[in-house]
Amino acid sequence: MELVPIKPERMAQLEDSAQRRSQSPVEALDEVLDAYLEWERAESEEAIQGIRRAYEDVKAGRTRPAIEFLDELRRKHSFPG
């Protein structure tokens, strides 16, 4: 097992969180880290899928000139033109 240094203030937060959950700091850290890593994986996959869809749209010609999009954005949000 490799040790990872933790800042004292973060360790205090971890210990407080663990105590509120009736867990050891190791259990609390593992739970939080697992949740974060799953969230990060899902976010990354979602971004990759969005890029793939956009690429397919471009390949299929489902695009419009940027000036049209920017004009619509300005009108929709009342940005100065």
- Extract the runs of DSSP E, i.e. beta strands, from the chain: none
Overall pTM > 0.95: no
Over residues 45-55, mean pLDDT: 98
Helix (H, G, I), strand (E, B) or coil at 9: helix
pLDDT at 20: 96
Helix 8-20 and helix 25-59: axis angle, to 10°?
100
Q: pLDDT of 53-66, one tens digit each?
A: 999 999 999 999 99
Q: Where are the domains of the chain?
A: 20-77
Whether the predicted pLDDT of 49 surpasses 80:
yes
Q: pLDDT of 10-33, one tens digit each?
A: 999 999 999 999 999 999 999 999
Helix (H, G, I), strand (E, B) or coil at 6: coil
